Amino acid sequence: MDAWPLRHLVLRTPRLELRPDDDAGLFELVDVALAGVHDPDEMPFNVAWTDRLPEDGGRSMVQHFWGVRARFEVEDWAICFLVRHEGRVIGVQEVNAQKFGALREVTTGSWLGKEFHGNGFGTEMRVAALQFAFDHLGARIARSAAWQGNHASNRVSAKLGYVQDGTTAAAPRGERLEHVRLRLDEPDFVRPDWNVEVAGLAECVHLITS
């Protein structure tokens, strides 16, 4: 029996390859983050982790991903896919779920290095995650969220068929912001004219869908 069968999982789209995080890839991801993820005047995340990067060189970021990997359980899991374009790490796409076998719901979140914005990669990696969840895991609902002012993320969500599902408040930098909750039911998913290629799922599906 393989001690960590998730290492065999890979999603491929027309331009991207997504694999669960590994240490070498995480150090590449740190370099991407240090080069910039968003406008310094904005904070697109619930936790202002990018503000800490200059202080610790990405140590807390790597520790976060190690912690997610260490806490992986069938009833409460998260897969942090490192996204590569032409062999280079450009961002991360997360898919997570609790009690997936009963609820058949996933939540997604993602970010790209700022230099890779504007190329449609964010949409492509989200589609990969959604097709993986709906078509290969049997999910029925996908959830996401974004700040009201995050127009790029909200445009992607609307284009793919998400609808608003209420709001929550958070203050990552001490100032209240409205977080828009988003919901996508599988029949409403607006699909592109390509399908994600999934390999290595047979080795690890028992860790995800049981």
Residue 186's pLDDT is 98
In this structure, what CATH number is given to the domain that contains residue 18?
A: 3.40.630.30
Rounded Cα distance between 210 and 148, Å, is: 35
Average pLDDT over residues 120-129: 96
Cα-based torsion angle of the residue sequence 164, 165, 171, 173 in order, rounded to the nearest 10 degrees = -30
CA atoms in the 13 A half-sphere facing the CB of 190? 10
The pLDDT-based confidence of 15 (bands split at 50, 70, 90) is: very high
- Summarised one tens digit per residue, pLDDT across range 68-81 is 999 999 999 999 99
Residue 142 buriedness (CB in 10 A; 0-12 / 13-18 / 19+): buried
Parent domain of 168? 5-207
Tell me the CA end-to-end span of the chain in Å, nearest whole number.
17
The pLDDT-based confidence of 156 (bands split at 50, 70, 90) is: confident
Number of domains in the chain: 1
Output the average pLDDT for the chain.
92
Rounded Cα distance between 87 and 85, Å, is: 5
- Summarised one tens digit per residue, pLDDT across range 24-69 is 999 999 999 999 888 887 777 777 788 888 899 999 999 999 999 9
Residue 51's pLDDT is 84
The pLDDT-based confidence of 170 (bands split at 50, 70, 90) is: confident
* 3-class DSSP assignment, residue 33: helix
Rounded Cα distance between 75 and 101, Å, is: 8
The pLDDT-based confidence of 90 (bands split at 50, 70, 90) is: very high
